[in-house]
């Protein structure tokens, strides 16, 4: 039975394991994600790892609302989010799995848009979607579509990045403006209009990371500040490293429209989600080398040095305000913006 991608909808038979499910998989997923590994049709992917390399792996689930937002959609986000998690280890992402949970009644034309976006995002960042799974739940028991992706990449064994490498005196660098993704999603969800458009920063950071590694600067750690924003990532890393962090508020890059929207809505941009940003640590005297390499890349044009690692047995994150005041930064008890990834 041929899929009606223009007017059709997901129904329970698309998750039954029978002919309708095969038509959906072959007519949509396999067609969009086509590659030699996926084409074998097996329930697993057999992958050749370059000799002498280590593996890095991550998994994430995406339940964003709305599914389509300025600057992206759940499909591209499902690729970017997992690719970035793998890249934060310094690895080169190569392969993804994709699991879809579809709600009965979901329009096939919207599913096709999501799958096409996901395929393009994968091609753009040089990864293959090599295995997957599809399930269908009854109408009212889902939210259109949920996607789970797992990512695998290869890593030079000589590269060791992580909170354990962070030392007192390290510089803290972000690759660009914060809060763009969360505010773009919120604006679309609540039908808010601003003079300047709010666009998600959703992007794959693997190529930027490789440029950073090749810069010659000694990278110690990286983290992508997604849910919970920059503040949560800093708090987590301070605790894991055993040191304190001191950041300069005026040094943190924030778009004027994001700052203004946050002020209107009573939100703090430090806690707003990002999907194309990273936080990097390196020796302070090598920060300019790393910044130069980042600013030469399209995803690092607005890179900025925002603070340094200090000795603090309490592992506090302290922000110095433009007036010289000091404010402690910690994780929020709740989530200010639900369903942003």
pLDDT digits over 316-333, tens only? 999 999 999 999 998 877
Q: Is the pLDDT of residue 290 over 90?
A: yes
Element (H, E) at 104: none
pLDDT at 338: 58
Q: What is the pLDDT of residues 42-72, one digit of tens each?
A: 889 999 998 999 999 999 999 999 999 999 9
Confidence of residue 249 (pLDDT cuts 50, 70, 90): very high
Confidence of residue 341 (pLDDT cuts 50, 70, 90): confident
In sequence order, what are the beta bridge partners of 300? none
Domains annotated for the chain, with CATH where assigned, are: 12-155 (3.30.1330.10), 163-329 (3.90.650.10)
CB atoms within 10 A of CB 320: 16
Give, in order, the Cα–Cα distances in Å from 324 to each of 141, 164, 250, 319: 51, 31, 11, 9
φ, ψ at 174 (rounded to 5°): -110, 150
**What b/e readout covers 163-177, taking b as 16+ CB neighbours within 10 angstroms?**
beebeeebbbbbbbb
- Residue, of 339 and 36, whose pLDDT is higher: 36
Q: Is the pLDDT of residue 1 over 90?
A: no
pLDDT at 284: 98
Whole-angstrom Cα distance, residue 136 to residue 104?
6
CB atoms within 10 A of CB 89: 22
CB atoms within 10 A of CB 61: 15
Q: Is the pLDDT of residue 88 over 70?
A: yes
Instruction: Answer for the pair 262, 272: CB distance below 8 angstroms, yes or no.
Output: yes
Q: Is the pLDDT of residue 2 over 80?
A: no
DSSP-assigned states of every residue in 167-219: -TTEEEEESS-SSHHHHHHHHHHTT---SSPP-------HHHHHHHHHTS---
> Where does the chain have alpha helices with state H?
19-24, 30-33, 74-87, 108-124, 180-189, 206-214, 229-241, 256-265, 287-295
Task: Please give the mean pLDDT across all residues of the chain.
Answer: 94
pLDDT at 16: 82
Mean pLDDT over 84-88 rounds to 98
């Amino acid at each position: 039975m041929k899929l009606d991608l223009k007017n059709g909808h997901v129904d329970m038979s698309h998750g039954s394991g029978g002919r309708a499910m095969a038509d959906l998989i072959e007519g949509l997923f396999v067609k969009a994600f086509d590659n030699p590994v996926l084409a074998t049709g097996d329930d697993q992917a057999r992958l050749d790892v370059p000799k002498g390399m280590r593996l890095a792996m991550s998994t994430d689930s995406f339940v964003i609302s709305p599914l389509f937002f300025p600057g992206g959609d759940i499909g591209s986000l499902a690729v970017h989010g997992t690719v970035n998690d793998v890249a934060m280890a310094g690895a080169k992402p190569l392969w993804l799995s994709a699991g879809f949970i579809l709600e009965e009644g979901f329009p096939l034309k919207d599913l096709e848009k999501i799958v096409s976006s996901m395929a393009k995002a994968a091609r753009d960042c040089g990864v293959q979607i090599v295995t997957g799974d599809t399930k269908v739940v009854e109408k009212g028991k889902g939210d259109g579509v949920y996607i789970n992706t797992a990512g695998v990449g290869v890593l030079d064994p000589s590269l060791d990045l992580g909170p354990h490498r962070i030392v007192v005196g390290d510089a803290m660098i972000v690759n660009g403006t914060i809060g763009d993704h969360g505010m773009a999603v919120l604006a679309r969800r609540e039908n808010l209009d601003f003079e300047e458009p709010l666009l998600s920063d959703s992007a794959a950071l693997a190529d930027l990371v490789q440029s950073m590694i090749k810069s010659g600067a000694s990278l110690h750690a990286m983290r992508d500040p997604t849910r919970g924003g920059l503040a949560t990532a800093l708090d987590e890393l301070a605790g894991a490293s055993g040191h304190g962090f001191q950041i300069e508020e005026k040094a943190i890059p924030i778009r004027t429209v994001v700052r203004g929207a946050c002020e209107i809505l009573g939100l703090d941009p430090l806690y707003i989600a990002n999907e194309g940003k990273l936080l990097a640590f390196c020796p302070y005297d090598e920060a300019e080398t790393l910044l130069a390499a980042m600013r030469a890349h399209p995803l690092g044009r607005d890179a900025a040095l925002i603070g340094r690692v200090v000795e603090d047995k309490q592992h506090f994150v302290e922000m110095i305000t433009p007036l010289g005041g000091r404010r402690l930064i910690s994780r929020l008890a709740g989530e200010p913006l639900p369903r942003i990834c």
